[in-house]
Structure 1
Amino acid sequence: MTPYIVTAVIVILLLVMIVINVVQQQRQKQEAERRQELARHKAIIEETEDLLPFAGQMPISSQLVAILYGRLADALNGAFKFNKDANLKARADDALNQQQQALQHYRPSDDNVRLPDNELQMVQLLQAVKRLIAVLRTEFNKGKVDAEVFRNEAAFLDRMRLKINVDGLIARGVSAKTIKQFGSARQFLNKAKQLAASQAHQDNYLRAKLQEIQLHLDEINHNRGAALVPPKAEKKEGDIQQPDDVDLLFSPKKKW
């Protein structure tokens, strides 16, 4: 075998190795992208399936229910492209069927919200509402939700979030008042009053809550125990820090 033939064989082998390496890297890249897309679709599926039970507990419109089922169907079909599991396809078809049923049996949102008495359940409901708002905005940005539907549903969810916050703060205030922590009670009640009064268009629920808050504040002001609170412990309403939604309910109960 001449040196030229040996050299040619070596060059060919090197080229074959390079091609094989490139092909392997491309396959690894495609597999990584496949796993990443599959994980993304699974995350959407899990989140949406977590929200659907909460949607059943809330007086939300059938439009929003249909949006959730449509999102679930899209994610299941997306996952099916990367994992040919017949169960995924069957679940996607069922989600589409549920979406059509929701659209055929229209039910508007109901502002008469019945909030849970348990603080933990209230926090869970508040978190679900915030996640629903995020999902609604995401689907709208994808062009899958009509602008008018988005405005109506977003406005309803914002009202529900406000009412949960107001109710939670009142419950905290009443609890603090019961154990004669009047400084904390005033802080919670004043914050609830500020939130309820901030709405330009108040419904019967908020008007009733404002009256309830004022009754509690009047009771505190006329209670002899309030005089025992040192002045330096009291904070002006304007000095109260403005926490976020979940922080209002999760914040520790202060002793004054």
Structure 2
Amino acid sequence: MKIDVVTLFPEMFDGPLGHSIVKRAIEKDIVEVNKVNFRQFGKGKHQVVDDTPYGGGAGMLLKPEPLFEAMDSINERDPETKKRVILMDPAGKPFNQAMAEDFAEEEHLVFLCGHYEGYDERIRTLVTDEVSLGDYVLTGGELAAMVMIDATVRLLPEVLGNAASAQTDSHSSGLLEHPHYTRPAEYKGMKVPEVLMNGNHGLIEAWRHEESLKRTFERRPDMLEAYDLSDRDKALIEKWKKEADETGEQVNHTEDF
């Protein structure tokens, strides 16, 4: 995979891309990351990339020319590959695991990181996706791009040491991930569940699924609305709802599944 990051602050990416899993992916030539400072395409002596909005208003907008020319430079360097161009925008579609999995199927990703008050609207004609990290506003798109790059790169083949790790991540299956345990078998009176040590893989998988379902019910019940619940799943959820009602626990569950 090739990744281009179009930003005014390329040095911000040195730390996150220079450590851990992303670093190893770059060293193994699984992914190539290029940082394009679009300040170099700014106009005049001071390489201006922003200006006041027509019609008045607070703040400054990114001008179209620098970003269009930055994209031209990427296309000239790599004219063959089809590019998925992702605009970092608080008004965009919320980023999630399914989107990371979708991005991981692409050959070439380009992240456009804005700054200031916003973009000249014509910049949006360059992009295929407008994506938000969440319902809040950052000072720039760099942090959001770093998160999306990390979430995407770790899904590429051979990046993780164990390919199954990505498949069982929270959100990949539609449920939150089940609890994990390692040695020692008992610590400060807390014991590892016996089912995990009996070697019966069928029982282990059943336990893990039930624990994932319960954790999702307790912490993110909204996710269950899109999950294909089995009859047993529905029965378990009804049991947990009754138990919560009996003990007076506050569970923000939805009414029907």
TM score, norm. by length of structure 2: 0.31
TM score, norm. by length of structure 1: 0.31
Larger Rg: 1
Q: If each structure's strand is expressed as a fraction of its own residues, which one has the higher value?
A: 2
